Structure 1
Amino acid sequence: MTDLISLASRLAWPLALTLAWMAGELMYRFSGMPRIAVYGLAGFVFGNVAAGYLPPSEAQAFMLLANLGFGLMLFELGYRINLRWLRNNPWILVTSLAESLCTFAAVYFVATYCGTPPLAAGLLAALAMSTSPAGLLRVLNEQASSGQVTERALHLSALNCVLAVFAFKVVVGIGVFQTSGDLAHAAWSSLVVLAASALLGALFGVAVPLWLRRIDNAARDATLAFAIAVFLLVVITHVLVFSPVLAALTFGIVARHRRIALSPAQRNFGVLGDLLSVLLFFFVATTLSWDQVARGFALGLLLVLVRTLIKVAVCTAFARVSGITARKGALSGLALTPMAVFAILLLEQTRRLGVDLFHSLAPLAAIALLLEVAGPLVTQRAVLLAREARSAREE
C-alpha cells in the first residue's frame, strides 16, 4: 500500500499536467476559451486537492522550470519592444507612468481604507501596477493578434513591469529595514539587485548576438541560442538571487537592437515554449490555497475592479494625444488585465531572500485566482473587439 501511495505521488504532477493540457485543448476548440485560463483553473484544483501529499522537493524543481518558462516569455516580450517607437511617441511612456502611478495610489488607498496594514497595502499596490507578460503574450500569440492595441499593450506591459519591480523592491526594502534595522541589507534587496539584474541582462544581449555573428550561423540557430541563453540567465539570477524578470526583459530588448531576428515560426519558442507555458500557468495556480482565496475574496474582487477601471481610464484619457482613438485606448487598458503569474513568481523570488510575504497578502490569492482565469478572457475579448485577432480580421 505504501509503495502504491509513493508511486501515485511521483506520477501526480505529470498526470495532472497532461490532463490540464488536454482540458485546455478541448475548451479552446469547443468554446474558444484561452488555454492558459484552463491551465490555471486546473492547477488551482490540483494544488488544493493534492495539498500535503506532494514532496516539497518536486515543488522546488517545478518552481525553477516555471521561472525558465517565464524567462522565455519575458525575453520574447523584450524582443518585441521597439525603443525607437517610444522615442518617437513619448506619450506611450507618459501613459505607462500615469497608469502605473494612479493604479498604485488607488489600490493603496482602497486597501488601507479596508484595514490592510500599510506595508501589505504597499505590496499589493506595487503588484497591481504590473501586467503579466506571460498571460498577455500567450493570448496575443494564440489569437495571432497584430495592430495598434496589440503593440500598445505589449509596450505598456513591459514598461509597467519594470515600474512594478522597482516599486515592489522599494517596498520590500522598507519592510526589511523596519524588521532588521539593517540598511545595507534593505538596499541590497532593492535597488542594487535591480541594477545588477539589468546589467546582467544587457551583457547577455550583447554577448549572444556577437557569438552568433562570429559563428556566421545566426539565421538558423538564433532561436535555439536565445533559448539556451535565457535558461542560463534565469539559473544565474536564481542562484545569485537577482531579478530574473528585469534580466530577461533587458536581454530581449538589447538583443533586438543588436539586429538578430528570431524566425517568425518560432513565436513562443516553438514546442519547448508551449510545454513550459502549460507548466508555468498550471504550477503558479497550485500555489494558491482555497483558504487564502476565501479570506481575501471580497477585498480582492474590489481591488481587481479598481485596478481595471484605473488602467482603462488612464489609457483612454491619453489615447488621442498618443495617436489612437479613445475606443482603442480603452481596449488597450482592458488588454492589460492579466497579472497573476507575474505577481506570484515575484513573491516566490522574494521568499528566497528570507522574506515570506504571501501569508500576509490574503487578498492577493483572490486577485491571482480571479485574474488567472478572467485575465486571459478579458485580453482575448479586447483584441477581438479591436478586430486585431486573426479570426476577427478574416471575417
Structure 2
Amino acid sequence: MPDIQGILADMGWPLAIAVAWLSGEFVHRWTRLPRISVYGLVGFLLSQAFPDVLSSGAGSNVTLLANLAFGLILFEFGYRINLHWLRINPWIAVSGLVESAATFAVVYLLSHVTGMPPLTSLLLASLAMSTSPAGVLRVINEEDSSGQVTERILHLVAINCVLAVFTFKVVVGFWVFQTSGSLTQAISHSGIELIVSAVMGALMGFIVPAVLRRLGALAQDGTIAFALGVILLVAMARAFDVSPVLATLTFGLAARHNRVAFSRTERNFGGIGELLTVLLFVFAVSTLEWERVVDGAGLAAVLLLARFVVKAVSVGAFAHVSGISWQKGLLTGIALSPMSVFVTLLLEQTKYMGIVLVDELAALAAMTLLLEVVGPIITQRALHWAKETPKEER
C-alpha cells in the first residue's frame, strides 16, 4: 500500500501551484481581478487546510525557488528604472523619500502607542515603508499599462524598497546586538551587508552585458543570460548571507544602463517566469497562520489605513511641483498598496540568523494577508482611473 502522507507531501506544492493557477485564470476571465490576488487567497486557504503538506523552512527548495522568482521580478523591475529621469525631475525622488519617512514615522508611533516594545515597533514600521515590486510589476504587466503614473509608481517602489531594506537591516542589527552583545555581528547585518549586495549586483550587471556583446547576434535576446545571472546572484547572496533583494534590483539597474536591450516578448521571463510567479504568491501566504492573522487583525486595520493615507497624501502633495495633476499624484500614492511578497521574503531571510520575527508581529501577518489579496486590486483600479491601461484609453 502506498503511503498517502508521503504522496501528499511530495505532491503538495505542485498541486497547490496548479490549483492556484487554474483559479487565477478562471477568476480573472470572469471578473478581471488581478490573478495574483487569487493566487494569494487560494494559497492561504490551502496552507490552512494542509499546513504540514505546504510547510517550508528557510533552507527548503520551495524557499529557494521563491527567492529565485522574486529575483527575476526584481531584475525586470530594476531594468525599468531610469536614473536619468530622476536626475531631470528630482521631485520624484523627494516625494519617495518623504513618503517612506512619513510612513515609517506614522506606523512606528501608532504601534508604540498601542503598547508594542520600541524594537518591535521599529521592525513593523520599517516593513510598512515598503511596496512589493512583485505585486506592482505583475499588475502593470497584466494590464499592459503605460504613462506618467505607471512610471512614477515603478520609481517610487524602487526608492521605498531600498530604504525599507536598509532600515530593516539596521533594526535587525540592533536586535542581534541587543540579544548577543556582539557589535561586530550587529554591524555585519546592516550597512556592510547592503554595500556588498549592491556591489555584487553591479558587477553582475557589468559582466552579463559584456558577455552578450561578445556573443554578438545572440545578444538580441538576452533573456536566458539575464535569468542565469539572477540565479547565480541569488545563490551567491544566500551563500554570503547578504540581501538578494538589493543585489538583483541593482543587477537590473546596472544592466539597463549598460544599454543591452531586453526583449519585451519575454516579459516576466516567459512561461517559466510565469510559473515561478504563481509559486511566489502562494508561498508568500503559506507561512501565515489563521490564529495569528485573527490576533493582529484590529491593529493591522488601523496601520493599513494610516499607511494608505500617508502614502497617497505624501505623493499627492508633490504632484504639481513634479509635473502632474494632484489627481494623478494621489492615484500614484494609492497604487503603492501591495506589500506582502517583499515582507515575507525579507522575514524569511532573518531565519538564517535564528530570528523568527513573525512571532513578534501578529499585526504583520494580518497586514500581509490583506495586502496580498486587496493590494493588487487597488493598484489595478488606480491604473484604470488614471486611464493608463489600453481598455481605459479607448
TM-score of the superposition, structure 1-length normalised? 0.98
- Please, which runs of 5 or more residues in structure 1 have no aligned partner? none
The corresponding residue for 1:80 is: 80
1:13 paired with 2:13, answer: yes
Q: Which residue of 2 aligns with 1:199?
A: 199
Is the 8 Å Cα contact of residues 172 and 190 (structure 2) preserved in structure 1? yes
Aligned to 1:156: 156
Q: CA deviation at 1:235?
A: 1.0
In the alignment, structure 1 residue 142 sits paired with structure 2 residue 142: yes
Residues 155 and 54 (structure 1), Cα distance of their counterparts in 2 relative to 1, 3 Å cut: closer
**Residue 351 of structure 1, CA deviation:** 1.3
Q: Secondary structure at the match of 2:324?
A: coil
Cα deviation, residue 389, structure 1: 1.1
Partner letter of residue 347 of structure 1? L
Change (3 A) 1:259 1:200: same
Alpha-carbon distance, 1:219 to partner: 3.7
Q: Counterparts in 2 of 1:178-189, with a 5 A limit?
A: 178-189=178-189
Give the secondary-structure state (helix, strand or coil) at the position aligned to 1:141: helix
Question: 1:260 aligned to 2:248?
Answer: no
Residue 37 of structure 2 aligns with which residue?
Answer: 37
Cα 1:105–1:18 change in 2 (3 A) is same
Q: For 2:222, what is the secondary structure of its paired residue?
A: helix
Q: Which amino acid aligns with 1:159?
A: I
Cα distance in 1, alignment partners of residues 328 and 49 from structure 2: 42
Change (3 A) 1:384 1:223: same
Match of 1:294 in 2: 294
Q: Give the residue type in structure 2 aligned to 1:6.
A: G
Describe how 1:58-77 pairs up with structure 2 within 5 A: 60-77=60-77
Are the structure 2 counterparts of residues 53 and 25 from structure 1 closer, same or farther at C-alpha, using a change threshold of 3 Å?
closer
Q: Counterparts of 1:59 and 1:42 in 2: how far apart (Å)?
A: 24
Letter in 2 for 1:154: L
Equivalent in the alignment of 2:316: 316
1:229-244 pair list within 5 angstroms: 229-244=229-244
1:17-60 alpha-carbon deviations (Å, 9 max, x no partner):
10110000000000011000000001111111111345657981
Report what 2:48 is aligned to: 48
Is 2:221–2:263's contact at 8 Å kept on the other side of the alignment? no
- Asked if the contact 2:58–2:351 (Cα under 8 Å) also holds between the matched residues in 1, the reply is no
Q: Runs of 4+ in structure 1 displaced over 6 angstroms?
A: none
Deviations 1:83-104 (A, max 9, x none): 1000000001100110000000
Q: For 1:215, what is the secondary structure of its paired residue? A: helix
TM-score normalized with structure 2 length: 0.98
Matched residue SS, 2:323: coil
CA distance in 1, matches of 2:288, 2:114: 22
Provide the C-alpha distance between the structure 2 equivalents of 1:19 and 1:59, rounded to a whole number of angstroms. 25
Are 1:91 and 2:91 counterparts? yes
Secondary structure of the structure 1 residue equivalent to 2:60: helix
Instruction: Note if contact 2:108-2:122 (Cα within 8 Å) is conserved in structure 1.
Output: yes
* Shift in Å, 1:4: 2.1
Deviates more, 1:349-358 or 1:27-36: 349-358
Shift in Å, 1:217: 3.0
Task: Name the residue aligned to 1:280.
Answer: 280
Aligned residue type for 1:290: W
Contact 2:56 2:62 in 1 (8 A): no
Question: For 1:309-328, what per-residue CA distance to the aligned partner results, in whole angstroms no more than 9, with x for missing partners?
Answer: 00000011000001110000
Structure 1: distance between partners of 2:21 and 2:59: 19
Specify the SS of the correspondent of 2:175. Answer: helix
Counterpart Cα distance in 2 of 1:232 and 1:391:
39
Separation of aligned partners in 2, 1:229 and 1:104: 33
Helix, strand or coil: the match of 1:332? Answer: helix
CA distance in 1, matches of 2:302, 2:107: 9
Structure 1: distance between partners of 2:150 and 2:308: 17
Change (3 A) 1:58 1:104: closer
What corresponds to 2:335 in structure 1? 335
Letter paired with 1:111: S
Q: In 2, Cα distance between the equivalents of 1:296 and 1:85? A: 40
Which AA in structure 2 matches 1:66? A
CA 1:2/1:298 → structure 2, altered by over 3 Å: closer, same or farther?
Answer: farther
Counterpart contact for 1:91–1:322, Cα < 8 Å = yes
- 1:177 alignment counterpart: 177
Give SS of 1:352's match.
helix
Displacement after TM superposition at 1:273 (Å): 1.1
Q: For residues 232 and 182 of structure 2, what CA distance do their matches in structure 1 show?
A: 32
User: How far off its partner does 1:184 sit?
Assistant: 0.2
Q: Provide the rounded CA distance (Å) in 2 between the counterparts of 1:70 and 1:42.
A: 19
Please, which runs of 5 or more residues in structure 2 have no aligned partner?
A: none
Aligned to 2:380: 380
Aligned equivalents of 1:391, 1:320: Cα separation in 2: 27
Aligned 8 A contact 1:218 1:260 in 2: no
Determine if contact 1:241/1:353 at 8 Å carries over to the other structure. no
- Given that residues 150 and 388 in structure 1 are in contact (C-alpha distance below 8 angstroms), is that contact kept between their aligned partners in structure 2? yes
In structure 1, the partner of 2:4 is 4
Residue 126 of structure 1 aligns with which residue?
A: 126
Corresponding letter in the other structure for 2:102: C
Q: Which residue of 1 aligns with 2:214?
A: 214
Does structure 2 conserve the Cα–Cα contact (< 8 Å) formed by 1:132 and 1:157?
yes
Equivalent residue letter for 2:15: L
Matched letter for residue 92 of structure 1:
I
| 1:203–1:71 CA distance, 2 compared to 1 (3 A) | same
